[in-house]
């Protein structure tokens, strides 16, 4: 079973939910696909046993063959190529590795090289396997790193995917073909606004989903009312408590210290399992 | 000399468009006869790489120089490789810019004048 944890914006407690859920499941695999800021492991403290580079293909032009005809640049939908009278300029950070330039080149002058866009790390600790994707600083190609993370999915386990915040392409890549999506929000006007955006994307992707309200007790009831009107299940309300906040700032998952909450998370998992299999 | 000025409308009285990659029009002007023609920038709403594409357009037009407000690093690199002189910081109308170019009051730029960015669909900044 694959459960993706998403939220319309950052800082709502998405990673907190992912980590605590993983710790409450037996045999969990946690995939940190929030590749711009992979922080799940700040709470899990896994020692990674494996690390490899994630690379993408970018064109390399064979100067001996190129006639500077400009076909490749005309074709490239991402504007990653410019052809001037005696040079082809490749803007690697704009390239999406579609390989179309190779197809249209009449001189067979387009070759390929690897470009590193991020790192993939794996480790195992306390029965949880952790896979972390880490996009290189300043890098814009998040999708290939997210894809690499998702290639590690082990369906024998309860797979928990910490998606990037927001509603852009990387989010869709991360939550695509999950069995269930948990949208994490806060009971505030901003939280509601971003939740609506996330609900919209998740519905369009036709994925079953439910909501977890974090810091329940701050703000107002509008998130709950909205969920009621839209018939969206509120799966869990994590109370706004000093103990939770202080555990958080110590990098400690609260389920390790608050058995009642751990039970809530276990029930949440059971409920999702039932919904997925029904 | 043949030059391209970026503009918000399609004639010589149009204001200079300070954005290079996302300008409305490219106006090609003969600096002596003031003959001109306007080309719409169909990449102005590109998700990314608008600067590269604009530089490609300028390069294809085989002009000697380009006058605009500011150019980013990718466009700058492309224009340099195409041997097009770059004049930035132009204001007023296209005609004002051509006059300023002719009397030498525009300064040629030898580095990109705006920072890199990833267009409208771009990634959010890394906060760590
Ligand atoms: S299409 Fe091929 S030959 Fe033409 S400019 Fe591009 S690389 Fe060179
Ligand atoms: S691989 Fe695709 S995106 Fe990359 S340069 Fe070639 S055509 Fe452009």
With an 8 Å Cβ cutoff, the interface of chain B facing chain A consists of: 43, 46-50, 52-53, 55-56, 59-60, 74, 77-78, 81-83, 118, 121-124, 126-128
Name the 3-class secondary structure at A130.
Answer: strand
Give the one of A82, A135, A138 whose C-beta lies nearest to B56's C-beta: A82
Which of the four pLDDT bands, split at 50, 70 and 90, describes residue B114? low
Average pLDDT over residues A213-217: 92
Q: No. of H helices and E strands in chain B?
A: 3, 5
**Do A75 and A125 have their domain in common?**
no
Q: What is the DSSP string of A194-230?
A: HHHHHHHHHHHTT--EEEEEEEETBS-SHHHHHHHHT
> What is the rounded CA–CA span in Å between residue A30 and residue A229?
32
Closest CA to B7 of B37, B34, B49, B52: B37
Cβ–Cβ gap B59/A82 under 8 Å: yes
pLDDT, averaged across chain A: 94
Please, what sign has the CA dihedral across residues A187, A189, A190, A192?
positive
Which of the four pLDDT bands, split at 50, 70 and 90, describes residue B126? very low
DSSP designation for A254: G
Instruction: Give pLDDT, residue A219.
Output: 84
Average pLDDT over residues A192-207: 95
Which residues have a Cβ under 8 Å from the Cβ of B83 and sit 6 or more positions away?
A84, A85
Ligand 1 centroid distance, CA of A113 (Å)? 16
Q: Give me the domain span that covers residue A50.
A: 2-54+118-277
**Do A230 and A255 have their domain in common?**
yes
Q: Could you tell me if residue B11 is inside a domain? A: yes
Model confidence at B121: pLDDT above 50: no
Strand ranges of the sheet holding B36-40, from the earlier edge strand across to the other edge: B36-40, B25-30, B2-7, B65-67, B85-87
What are A158-169's pLDDT values in tens digits? 999 999 999 989
**Do A92 and A193 have their domain in common?**
no
Query: Residue B31 corresponds to which tokens in the numbers above?
Result: 């600096």
Q: Could you tell me if residue A113 is inside a domain? A: no
Question: What residues form DSSP beta bridges with A55?
Answer: A116
Reported ipTM: the value is 0.83
**Do A174 and A242 have their domain in common?**
yes
> What is the rounded CA–CA span in Å between residue A184 and residue A16?
10
Report the length, in residues, of chain B: 128
**Do A8 and A82 have their domain in common?**
no
Name the 3-class secondary structure at A18.
Answer: helix
> What is the rounded CA–CA span in Å between residue A274 and residue A29?
19
Q: Could you tell me if residue B7 is inside a domain? A: yes
Q: How many domains does chain A have?
A: 2
pTM: 0.83
Query: Percent of chain A beyond pLDDT 90?
Result: 87
What are A109-148's pLDDT values in tens digits? 999 999 999 999 999 988 899 999 999 999 989 999 999 9
Model confidence at A87: pLDDT above 70: yes
Instruction: Give pLDDT, residue A278.
Output: 78
Cβ–Cβ gap A142/B56 under 8 Å: no
Final residue belonging to a domain, choices A43, A76, A108 = A108
What are A13-32's pLDDT values in tens digits? 999 999 999 999 989 999 99
> What is the rounded CA–CA span in Å between residue A149 and residue A152?
6
Which of the four pLDDT bands, split at 50, 70 and 90, describes residue B113? low
> What is the rounded CA–CA span in Å between residue B82 and residue A134?
37
**Do A77 and A136 have their domain in common?**
no
Instruction: Give pLDDT, residue A11.
Output: 84
Q: How many domains does chain B have?
A: 1
**Do A148 and A242 have their domain in common?**
yes
Instruction: Give pLDDT, residue B119.
Output: 45
Which of the four pLDDT bands, split at 50, 70 and 90, describes residue B109? confident
Q: Could you tell me if residue B103 is inside a domain? A: yes
Q: Could you tell me if residue B118 is inside a domain? A: no
Model confidence at A246: pLDDT above 80: yes
Ligand 1 centroid distance, CA of A67 (Å)? 6
Model confidence at A221: pLDDT above 80: yes
Cβ–Cβ gap A84/B78 under 8 Å: yes
Q: Could you tell me if residue B65 is inside a domain? A: yes
Pocket probe mutation, ligand 1, options A61, A62, A87, max atoms within 8 Å of Cβ: A61
Q: What is the dihedral angle through the alpha carbons of A100, A101, A103, A104, rounded to the nearest 10 degrees?
A: 120
Q: Could you tell me if residue A72 is inside a domain? A: yes
What are B31-90's pLDDT values in tens digits? 999 999 999 998 888 888 999 999 999 999 999 999 999 999 999 999 999 999 999 989
**Do A86 and A203 have their domain in common?**
no
Instruction: Give pLDDT, residue B125.
Output: 41
Question: Which CATH number characterizes residue B86's domain?
Answer: 3.30.420.130
Q: Could you tell me if residue B98 is inside a domain? A: yes
């Amino acid at each position: 079973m694959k459960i993706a944890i998403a939220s319309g914006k950052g800082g709502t407690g998405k990673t907190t939910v992912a980590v605590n859920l993983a710790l409450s499941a037996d045999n969990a695999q946690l995939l940190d696909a929030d590749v711009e800021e992979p922080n799940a492991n700040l709470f899990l403290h896994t020692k990674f046993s494996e690390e490899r580079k994630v690379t993408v293909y970018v064109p390399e032009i064979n100067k001996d063959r190129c006639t500077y005809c400009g076909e490749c640049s005309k074709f490239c939908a991402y504007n990653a190529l410019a052809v001037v009278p005696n040079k082809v300029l490749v803007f690697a950070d704009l390239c999406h590795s579609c390989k179309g330039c190779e197809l249209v080149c009449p001189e067979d002058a387009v070759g390929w090289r690897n470009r590193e866009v991020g790192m993939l790390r794996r480790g195992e600790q306390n029965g949880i396997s952790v896979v972390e994707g880490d996009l290189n600083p300043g890098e814009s190609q998040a999708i290939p790193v997210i894809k690499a993370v998702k290639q590690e999915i082990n369906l024998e386990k309860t797979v928990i995917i910490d998606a990037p915040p927001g509603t852009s392409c990387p989010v869709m890549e991360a939550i695509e073909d999950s069995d269930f999506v948990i949208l994490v929000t806060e009971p505030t006007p901003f939280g509601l606004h971003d939740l609506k955006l996330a609900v919209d994307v998740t519905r369009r992707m036709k994925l079953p989903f439910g909501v977890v309200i974090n810091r329940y007790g701050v703000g107002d009831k509008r998130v709950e009312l909205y969920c009621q009107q839209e018939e969206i299940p509120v799966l869990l309300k994590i109370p706004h408590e000093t103990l939770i906040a202080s555990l958080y700032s110590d990098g400690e998952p609260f389920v390790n210290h608050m058995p009642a909450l751990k039970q809530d998370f276990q029930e949440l998992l059971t409920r999702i399992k039932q919904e997925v299999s029904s | 000399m043949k030059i391209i000025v970026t503009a918000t409308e399609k004639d010589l009285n149009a204001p200079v468009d300070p954005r290079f990659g996302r300008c409305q029009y490219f106006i090609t002007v003969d600096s002596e006869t003031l003959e001109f023609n306007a080309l719409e920038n169909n990449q102005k709403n590109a998700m990314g790489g608008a600067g590269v594409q604009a530089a490609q357009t300028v390069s294809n037009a085989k002009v000697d120089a380009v006058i605009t407000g500011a150019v980013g690093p990718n466009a700058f690199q492309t224009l340099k490789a195409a041997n097009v002189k770059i004049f930035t910081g132009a204001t007023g109308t296209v005609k004002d810019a051509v006059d300023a170019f002719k009397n030498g009051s525009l300064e040629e730029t030898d580095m990109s004048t705006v920072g890199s960015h990833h267009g409208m669909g771009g990634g959010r900044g890394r906060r760590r």
